[in-house]
Amino acid sequence: MSEKIYDLKERTFKFAQRILDIAELLSKCRIIQEQLVKAGTSIGANVEEADGTITKKDFVNKMAIARKEAKETRYWLRLILGRYIKTEEIAFDIEECQELINIISSIINKSR
- pLDDT tens profile 19-67: 999 999 998 899 999 999 999 999 999 999 999 999 999 999 999 999 9
Residue 1 pLDDT level (bands cut at 50, 70, 90) = very low
Task: Give the predicted TM-score (pTM) of the model.
Answer: 0.94
Quick check: 94 and 81 in contact, CB under 8 A? yes
Mean pLDDT score of the chain:
95
Q: How far apart are CA 55 and CA 92, in angstroms?
A: 35
Helix/strand/coil (H/E/C) assignment for every residue in the chain = CCCCCCCHHHHHHHHHHHHHHHHHCCCCCHHHHHHHHHHHHHHHHHHHHHHCCCCHHHHHHHHHHHHHHHHHHHHHHHHHECCCECHHHHHHHHHHHHHHHHHHHHHHHHHC
CATH superfamily, region 8-111: 23S rRNA-intervening sequence (1.20.1440.60)
Residue-level pLDDT at 67? 98
Which residue type, as a one-letter code, is found at position 45?
A
- pLDDT tens profile 85-108: 999 999 999 999 999 999 999 999
Q: Give the number of other Cβ atoms within 10 Å of residue 88's Cβ.
A: 8
